[in-house]
Structure 1
Amino acid sequence: MDPIQGIKPAKDTTLAMMLAAQKRGLQVHYIRQQDLSVDSGKPLISSRPVTVYDDARHWYDLGEIESNEASHFDLILNRIDPPVDVGYLTASHLLSLAEQQGVLVSNRQQSVRDCNEKLFAVEFPDLCPPTLVSSSAEQIRSFHAEHHDIIIKPLDGMGGRSIFRVRKDGENIGVILELMTAQGQTAVMAQRYLPEIAQGDKRILLINGEPVAHGLARIPVKGEHRGNLAAGGSGEVRPLTERDLEICRRVGPTLKEKQLHFVGIDVIGESLTEINVTSPTCVREIDRATGSDIAGDYIEFLLGCLRGTGS
């Protein structure tokens, strides 16, 4: 996970998973990305036993550092936040070696590497708004001319960072494209702007391809086009609509096939916009509003996989 001292415990989904594992009698260890290594083909992990608390002022105690082969562990959750950069990919490959030794790593690392969180959604084009992925300013300008109001975003971002809206007048599109595409060297995603964002960008969580009953609609503050909580949006828990469920029915079997056990999809209005496979959040907000135990359900599913009863 990312540094435990820097999380926001009242909101942190990874902490919720650690609490759920601890509640079920599992010994939990804390591992940072830089704690993974490989020696002569053997993946090694430096870890620290951790005791966690549901306390906003004191949420963890760490034990002494232990060094073990990865096969010492039954289950490893990779909850590092994007970007999926060289450091992330290196750690992911080392975790794939752990998978080869029989460790259950969730989500499956090959699938995480294969499924860019922006591009994955494009595999379901009829569920998405009109979308273009390109590094060509000419193509993106043509897309804007067709749709008049568009969103441009990087393929490796999170939390609403570096997402630009270009309205009909096209103001600043030139400098935005220069910056975002690095003068035509880097592909970005352009999507038709969805005015339904005013009612919220809904995060829907799926465990083994099955949706949780409620999602979190992240509603932008006035004057903002991003609903992300990290960008100042507010959260409102809502039951899933029939359209939400239809999208889940389409996407769920692919998630299950790829062993993407815990995924967060983003839906604006009637449209799928992203499929988040690295470190989906919003568990704490949904649990508080509904009395659910999403992290507990996830850990129970993984325990079933370890026992050979998961599906």
Structure 2
Amino acid sequence: MKLGFVTDPLGSRRAYNDPAVALMRAAQSHGHEVFAIQTPSLSWRRPEPGHAGGVFGEVLQMHLRPDDHDWYREVAREWRPLRFLDAVLVCIDPPADAEFFTATWLLERAEADGLRVFNRPRALREHSEKIATAEFAQFTPTTLITRHLRQLREFIDSERDVILKPVDGGEKVRVFRVHRNDRNRNAIAEALTDDGRRTIIAQRYLPEIDQGDKRILLIAGKVVPWCLARIPRAGETRGSLAAGGTGVAQELSPRDREIAETLAPQLLKRGLLLVGLDVIGDYLTGINVSHPGGMVELRQQSGFDAAGATISAIERVCGLT
């Protein structure tokens, strides 16, 4: 197959633990041709004489290498319609900003023209990493989503020890632990909400974060039996690897499996083939649908090849197996 990867600029990729690079390498090892379409080049044009129209971009054909410092060779580069590809995987990092939504709208046009896109563009738009958990409230900690400052003050008063964070953002998102008696609590809430103009999330603090913020992968409706527990460094409340956390592979707990097996079939029906759940202790805190990490570390520590399993799932959907 000819597999395309819609990705942020390649220069921003950290090959040693980047899931997009892992997926590209897996695709090549399965015998497929690998192409990258960097998001700034995604375009659409009306069909007319002299131009086929539709969604097109600058397409880079790649040969992947095992060296993380020099991880690919450019085979060819040209502007062309995406319809020549058999399938496209979307590997765009948060935040879900205007350019992210524009990319999904353009890819939805390509999908309408017959291109298979994983995950489906509409599903990417409809599943905010943090807010999507509200659909599965039976698994979430005590949570408030608001930009109303009085509501936030009352929530902090009632819950005593809370986490405040934006509704979007990547691994280095600003996360604050706030106690009821903190003198700066109101100032932090005002800053995060831009004085009530930006919605944020407040959640009861979960001390289980000390055992790790667990990333659980779902592939084609199946639950990967291992998770990556991202353990915060000393003095941190964030477990993400970008914030200095340490990733430790571990088998799923019964509660992890309950959460994952409940969500997996529902998310697959919506066109979400690859999903990363975030679970702290017994609680669901995030649903990552655009570029879930953790697969490189899982393979290194557990031997489970999540990238290869994802490519195999795409092969089945495309009728190759």
Question: Equivalences for 1:195-210 in 2 at 5 Å?
Answer: 195-210=207-222
Q: Is the 8 A contact 2:214 2:228 kept in 1?
A: yes
Does residue 23 of structure 1 match 2:29?
Answer: yes
Deviations 1:49-84 (A, max 9, x none): 011112122201113322222211111111110111
Consecutive unaligned residues in structure 2, runs of 5 or more: 1-6, 48-53
Deviations 1:165-213 (A, max 9, x none): 1013133122212211111111101000000001111000000221111
Does residue 224 of structure 1 match 2:236?
Answer: yes
Does residue 234 of structure 1 match 2:246?
Answer: yes
Q: Is the 8 A contact 1:208 1:262 kept in 2?
A: yes
Match of 1:215 in 2: 227
For 2:103, give the aligned amino acid. Answer: A
CA RMSD of aligned residues (A): 1.2
Q: TM-score, normalised by structure 2?
A: 0.94
Match of 1:35 in 2: 41
Match of 1:12 in 2: 18
Deviations 1:232-290 (A, max 9, x none): 01111100011000001211122111110000000000100000011000100000111
Question: Equivalences for 1:91-102 in 2 at 5 Å?
Answer: 91-102=103-114
Match of 1:60 in 2: 72
78, 95, 100: which one aligns with 2:90: 78
| Deviation at residue 6 of structure 1 after TM alignment | 2.8
Does residue 138 of structure 1 match 2:144?
Answer: no
Give the Cα separation in 2 of the matches to 1:162 and 1:168.
Answer: 19
For 2:246, give the aligned amino acid. Answer: S
Give the Cα separation in 1 of the matches to 2:270 and 2:183.
Answer: 41
Partner of 1:287, secondary structure, is helix
Q: Is the 8 A contact 1:9 1:54 kept in 2?
A: no
For 2:148, give the aligned amino acid. Answer: S
Deviations 1:126-155 (A, max 9, x none): 100000000001001111111000001101
Q: Is the 8 A contact 2:9 2:39 kept in 1?
A: no
Consecutive unaligned residues in structure 1, runs of 5 or more: none
272, 275, 278: which one aligns with 1:260: 272
For 2:24, give the aligned amino acid. Answer: M
Does residue 119 of structure 1 match 2:131?
Answer: yes
Partner of 1:213, secondary structure, is strand
Q: TM-score, normalised by structure 1?
A: 0.97
Q: Is the 8 A contact 1:133 1:189 kept in 2?
A: yes
Q: Percent sequence identity over matched residues?
A: 39
Does residue 166 of structure 1 match 2:178?
Answer: yes
Match of 2:50 in 1: none
Give the Cα separation in 2 of the matches to 1:63 and 1:36.
Answer: 20
Aligned residues: 309
Partner of 2:33, secondary structure, is coil
Q: Is the 8 A contact 1:209 1:248 kept in 2?
A: no
176, 179, 190: which one aligns with 2:191: 179
Give the Cα separation in 2 of the matches to 1:101 and 1:33.
Answer: 19
